[in-house]
Amino acid sequence: MKYNSEILVILLATLIIIGYQIFRYSALTKELVRVRNDYASTTLVFADRIKVLQTDLINTIKENGDLNNNLQAEKARNDGFENQIGTITSKVGILDKLSKTDPQLLQKYSKIYFLNEHYVPASLTNIESLYAYPRENKPEQILISVWPHLKDLLVAATSTGIHLQIISGYRSFGEQTSLKSSYKFTYGAGTANQFSADQGYSEHQLGTTVDFTTTGASATLNGFEKTKAYEWLINNAHKYGFTLSYPQGNSYYQFEPWHWRYVGIELATKLNRDNNHFYDLDQRIINQYLVNIF
């Protein structure tokens, strides 16, 4: 009887434990289901949120792309405006420079264009005595803006042992008149017209032209073309903006190897490179170089 009671107690305890475990399992199962449901719900919410974020991101990228395209288009327009402004500014600068540059300086005067008796270069300066052929009471002059180029030429020639001097620079309308009259008296009108311009047609009146002389050349400049000075000028004068006005075979005057005119480095270099001469070019082509003459 005693054993039966013990067994009964054991069975009862076992049933209680089993019942508790069943209850515990049931409760855990319900909690797991709830957690799974919450997880599934949260996953759906996150999925929806991710879709919304992805849509927002795509729209933002598209908007940024549109903004970037608009920005690039605006930048291109601004660059176009800047280029236009730069072009306009450049043209205004060129026009301003041209307005301040004497348009007569690159005109073809010998027997073509005429300089009236009132024309005087804007500003003349005396050629340094070291480089001027000595004459009594007759300082040689040149346009002040041409002098630095002429001096560079003279200094460069001297550095190579070439002795150059200016025997004639600027001449006024009146001086050319007197000179031409004396030539006509001495040589006759026909002969004088072959080597001397009438007043108003002389390049010397521009103040950009000089007659060179050197050791070994006579006072009349005969034989200048046989000197080393002439050879040096042929090879180097263009570097300083000077060109020979009346080469052999020209249609205006006899060959004058001593007579050189400043036309600007750019034009003088072109003439030298093309083996051409100032009076061979059309005036419209020459005019294009006026803005760069200085």
Ordered DSSP codes for 116-175: -TT---S-EEEPPGGGB---TT---EEETTTHHHHHHHHHHHHHTT--EEEEE----HHH
Q: Which residues, including other chains, have CB under 8 Å from residue 207's CB and lie 6 or more apart?
A: 121, 124, 141, 142, 143, 146, 169, 170
Mean pLDDT lowest among 29-38, 68-77, 177-186, 188-197: 188-197
pLDDT at 5 over 80: no
With CA atoms as reference, report the closest residue to 205 among 88, 121, 111.
121
Distance CA 180, CA 166 (A): 19
pLDDT digits (tens, 9 = 90+) for 8-20: 777 777 878 887 7
Do residues 153 and 242 make contact, with C-beta atoms less than 8 angstroms apart? yes
Which pLDDT band holds residue 89 (cuts at 50, 70, 90)? low
Which pLDDT band holds residue 156 (cuts at 50, 70, 90)? very high
pLDDT at 254 over 50: yes
Question: Is the Cα torsion angle 251, 257, 258, 261 positive or negative in sign?
Answer: positive
pLDDT reported for residue 26: 78
Average pLDDT of every residue of the chain: 83
Q: What count of other Cβ atoms lies within 10 Å of the Cβ of residue 210?
A: 31
pLDDT at 205 over 60: yes
Calculate mean pLDDT across residues 278-288: 94
With CA atoms as reference, report the closest residue to 278 among 186, 207, 209, 180.
209
Which element (helix H / strand E) includes 231? Answer: helix 228-236
pLDDT at 194 over 60: no
pLDDT at 105 over 80: yes
Domain 103-292 falls under CATH 3.30.1380.10 = yes
pLDDT at 109 over 50: yes
pLDDT at 163 over 70: yes
Do residues 268 and 289 make contact, with C-beta atoms less than 8 angstroms apart? no
With CA atoms as reference, report the closest residue to 237 among 205, 218, 263, 202.
263
Distance CA 251, CA 36 (A): 111
Of all residues in the chain, the percent with pLDDT exceeding 90 is 43
pLDDT reported for residue 87: 54
Which pLDDT band holds residue 2 (cuts at 50, 70, 90)? low
Task: Identify the bridge partners of residue 242 per DSSP, sorted by sequence position.
Answer: 262
pLDDT at 73 over 80: no
Phi, psi of 223 (to 5 degrees): 90, 0
Do residues 101 and 291 make contact, with C-beta atoms less than 8 angstroms apart? yes
With CA atoms as reference, report the closest residue to 216 among 260, 256, 162, 261.
162
pLDDT at 1 over 90: no
Characterize the bridge pairing of strands 141-143 and 259-262. unpaired
pLDDT reported for residue 192: 45
pLDDT reported for residue 280: 92
Q: Which residues, including other chains, have CB under 8 Å from residue 200's CB and lie 6 or more apart?
A: 109, 114, 115, 116, 117, 173, 176
